[in-house]
A and B are shown apart, each in its own frame.
Chain A
Amino acid sequence: MATLTFPLSRIEGHARVEIEVREGKVISTRFQAMEKRGFNLMVHGVPAEQIPVIVPRICGVCSTAHHVASVKALEDAYGVQPPALASELREVLLLGQIIQNQATSLFVFTMPDMLGVDSLFHVSVEEADKTIQFNIAKRALKLRQLGTDLISLAGGQFIHPVKAVVGGMSSGIDATRADEFRRRLLEALPAACELVEFYWDITMRMKERIGSWGDDQPAFYITSTERDTPRYNSHIIRVMTPAGECCREFSAGEFRNFLTFEETDYSYAGRTSYEGEVMRANSLARANMTRTIGTKLAGDFLRRLRAEFGHPAHPILLFDLCRGIELVYAIERGAALLEAPLDRDDPHLPYTPRDGEGWGLVEAPRGPLIHHYVIENGVIALGEFIIPTVHNMLAIERALRVAAERYITADSVNLELERAVGRVVRAFDPCIACATH
């Protein structure tokens, strides 16, 4: 028996893939998370009110989602309902995260696969076509910076935000700054659409070259955004059958009634399943599970996706196109939200801390994120983080198996497998820092 090991790059965190092969038959495909910090234990004994500063450090890419989820969990424990304005501000904050993350994943993580280079930054001035790539790099970086700037605007600090507080937000966004940023978003919109068009084009060429969409078997899907249009400051988790029927709705606190969570001995990250079946979270799940997207340009892209690939669509290479659609959506939606006055009243309500239990839910870029705390004597007695990436673990391993079976025969291993492994994993944009926390 042979074990093939593939280190991974251009993903968030440390991970590798192991494929066991016997006489040309694929025995197992394993996705291994290689790091562990232990935030679930680190928060023991920490004063509950410090949690929203500590837990964003679970991940510098998805920090905003952790910041907001933790605040919502504490609000649940304290029985406080933030004002409507705070919910809007949190949505703006989470849209900033979507812009930042989807631009990073699309252009920094996966585009090099499509272009056949090691990184977006590998520029050689001698080659003309590389100059084009260089321009794409600059535009892509500017787009993702727009996301972090929006996080700063709504959340204070640019990577680990501080403005979501129990009871609401510490302050709103004044009209001048909102208007200035709204203009920046609208200015960036054509560039974002062009990059998504470009991405669509290179995806189709990639499909031509490799002759496959990757794993395109049906799967269950999971998200917490709303039925009609996406909303990342979410409340209810939904599951969709492979045929496209919404089969379950449940709150964060009920997740154990519907999802099975288990640890494995080969990874520092756990995994979840739905009634023992493979499910998928992240952009493709959201695109499959929203009725419309509710903005013009993103709506056009979504209709095109459904026309070309059906609804629900299953090929894993579509995760990236869906990220592109969300990038456009988040820019359009952010601009629309910044039109309303976001400092019209106090975005914060007073509250009284108390002991108890709380659950917080947001739709992070990679899917539904749950924070769960038990507070005793004002400090954390139990902290639990259910990370979106773990919902995708079985789906990643199934897709790896599809790739392995395609490229491994009794006589040889097609070296395209190495690239395929990278493509498969990056399609799901896993976040290892989060998954292991």
Chain B
Amino acid sequence: MTTKTPPKFAVLQLSGCAGCEVSLLNASEWVEQFDLVYMPLVVSAYDVPEVDVLLISGGVRSDEDLHNLRRAVKCAKKVVAVGTCALSGGVANLGNRDEVRELFISQTQRRHLPRLLPKSQPVDDFVEVSLYLPGCPPTPELFMAALLEPPDFSASMNVCQECGRRKLKDMKPEHLTGFLRGEVLPEICLINQGYLCVGSSTRGGCRALCTRPGHPCVGCRGPSDALIEKDSQAWLTSIERVFDAMTEIPQDELREALVSPQLALFLFQFADYAGKGKPQRPKEKVL
């Protein structure tokens, strides 16, 4: 009888919230199929050994993050960036605003601790990534798909497809309802109800976890396949078109809410989706 050794995998956690790790623990099917050799949250091991798959969560925030990242990728055959922080900043993006950095840098540095870098940066600013798994956090199903890469798996095009709330032709709000204010009618599209929901252009695969119970999509999985290889303007335009068709909300009001003051749309995205300096990530590398 031949016994096949299960593939080894490791999880490197940079600066983040460990929500990705918690989600991975929910995907408990891997327990039988993989050998988890490194994940400081749950395993006592202090170095990444040779592994088949390395999952990296969190953003690169300190010199220690960077050091650990560079060391770890050398030991891995396949490198997967998981979670919105590792890909595009997540909420850490809010800390990359200059007015915040001015305070942060002056108040935060300590002498005997890892030095904080000027900004939080995505993993692929420093190392090559074979697969991207966006989401805040990615669901357990998405984690299993990233580990097993079943050939027939594909995330749905956008959140709307999984949400299933009905879009009504004759319910056209004239103004935004506010991010969280007012009643939410069940089964009716949140845009019809005036909510700033960006699910129409956000990558699916999350099972519409937020919009189903009535919370507008904040775009944590980033742009859908149709938009991911284009710059952020295309993303913005696509959302504007949807609101234009479905609502009477003035374009100025919508644009202001989307891109300022604190970038409701890009709350979970780094400026790298704004097409500055870096090539866009090819859609076949994004789960």
Contacts and interface: CB of A to CB of B under 8 A. Distances in A.
Contact of B17 (A112, A353, A433): A433
A57 B43 contact: no
Contacts of A351: 181
B213 A170 contact: yes
B28 A141 contact: yes
Interface in B185-215: 186, 209-210, 212-215
A171 B184 contact: yes
Given A159-B137, A170-B214, A379-B261, A34 B186 contact: no
A121 B215 contact: no
A27 B41 CA distance: 29
A363 to B, nearest CB: 20
Nearest to B257: A47
Nearest to A53: B218
A57 B41 contact: no
B130 interface: no
A59 B17 contact: yes
Given A12-B18, A160-B19, A144 B183 contact: no
Interface string A232-244: 0000000000000
B36 A158 contact: no
A230 interface: no
B28 A38 contact: no
Interface in B1-41: 13, 15-23, 25-26, 28, 31, 36, 39-41
A156 B212 contact: yes
Interface stretch (A192-200, A252-260, A264-272): A264-272
Contact of B15 (A35, A121, A144, A166): A35
B267 A63 contact: no
Interface string A1-35: 00000010111111000000000000000001011
Interface in A39-67: 39, 41-47, 49-50, 52-54, 57-61, 63
Contacts of B112: 32, 265-266
Contact of A266 (B18, B19, B113, B215): B113
B209 A9 contact: no
B163 interface: no
A60 B267 contact: no
B245 interface: no
B111 interface: yes
Nearest to B46: A7
Contact of B31 (A13, A63, A121, A157): A121
Given A47-B262, A119-B42, A32 B113 contact: yes
B18 A165 contact: no
B17 A58 contact: yes
Contacts, number: 203
Interface size class of A (residues with CB under 8 A): 35 or more
B45 interface: yes
A162 interface: yes
A304 interface: no
A163 interface: yes
Contacts of A170: 184, 213-215
B182 interface: yes
Contacts of A148: 22, 26
A37 B61 contact: yes
Interface in A299-336: none
A11 B103 CA distance: 29
A14 B13 CA distance: 9
A138 interface: yes
A52 B180 contact: yes
A63 B17 contact: yes
A34 B261 contact: no
B43 A60 contact: no
Interface in B147-189: 178-184, 186
A142 interface: yes
Contact of A41 (B28, B95, B120, B180): B95
A164 B33 CA distance: 37
B110 A49 contact: no
18 contacts: A12-B18, A12-B41, A36-B15, A41-B104, A45-B261, A46-B262, A49-B178, A49-B180, A63-B17, A63-B19, A108-B25, A121-B42, A152-B209, A160-B19, A165-B180, A171-B213, A266-B112, A350-B182
Interface of A: 7, 9-14, 32, 34-39, 41-47, 49-50, 52-54, 57-61, 63, 100, 104, 108-109, 112, 118-122, 137-138, 141-142, 144-145, 148, 152, 156-160, 162-163, 165-166, 170-171, 265-268, 348, 350-351, 353, 379, 422, 433
